[in-house]
Amino acid sequence: MTTVSVILVGCLSVFNLLLTLVLARKITLVSHGNAHGHSHGASQGGAAGSILSGVSIPENKLPDGAPMPAFRAVSHSGGPFSGDDLTGDRAVVGFFSTTCGSCLEQAPDFVKAVTAYPGGRERVVAVVKGTGPVGDNLVAMLEPVARVVVEPAGVAEGSVAEAFGVVRWPSYVDIDAAGRITNRLLPAELTVAPASL
């Protein structure tokens, strides 16, 4: 009787594990789908932080219209720069994390969106949070179109991500010629066309 009990408990444990994995996968897919659907809704006038089907996309700490924060950074290729280097004309900043699936998915779209950015890569900054092979791949993908800044994982005091108040990954920020920021949910929402006269 003991052997039968052990086999029965083992079978139930395996079934429970499989059921848990299936449910986790389903929840991930639903959450991922809602996040993408929500992003499109936000671009049509919805609020980024509103709740849609139980999924809330957080707002970054600096609201639209806020002045670009002061920051200093060193690009991956070694050149120091600061927020002052982005003043006087439009610029864009993208924020990516090595532990964020959506960041990895959207990085190629960001590259496409900013490839023809007015002023070239000097007007585009890409912040990569985290290191390792994933970080190396992100840097290699982003560096041809942007000044890439690599920051340590976690909350890093004095980081570019902290200066911009980023809590949503990935995040994209348009900076206008007056130095005001606008948060974006998707790379396709970035303003990359030449400014109208």
- Residue 10: the pLDDT is 67
pLDDT class of 195 with cuts at 50, 70, 90: low
pTM, full prediction: 0.72
Pairing between strand 124-129 and 147-151?
Answer: parallel
Considering only CA atoms, which of 38, 34, 62 is closest in space to residue 50?
Answer: 38
Give per-residue burial for 56-84: e unless 16+ CB within 10 Å, then b.
ebebbebeeebebeebebebbeeeebebe
**Own/partner long-range contacts of 112-116 (Cβ < 8 Å, ≥24 apart):** 112/187, 113/187, 113/188, 113/190, 113/192, 114/145, 114/146, 114/187, 114/190, 114/192, 115/145, 116/192
The model's pLDDT over 105-155, given as tens digits with 9 standing for 90+, comes to: 999 999 999 999 999 999 999 999 999 999 999 999 999 999 999 999 988
Residues 6+ apart with CB under 8 A from 192: 92, 113, 114, 116, 117, 118
The model's pLDDT over 11-57, given as tens digits with 9 standing for 90+, comes to: 666 556 555 554 445 444 434 444 433 333 333 333 444 444 566 88
**Average pLDDT score over the chain:** 82
Omega of the bond leading into 118 within 30 degrees of 0 (cis)? no
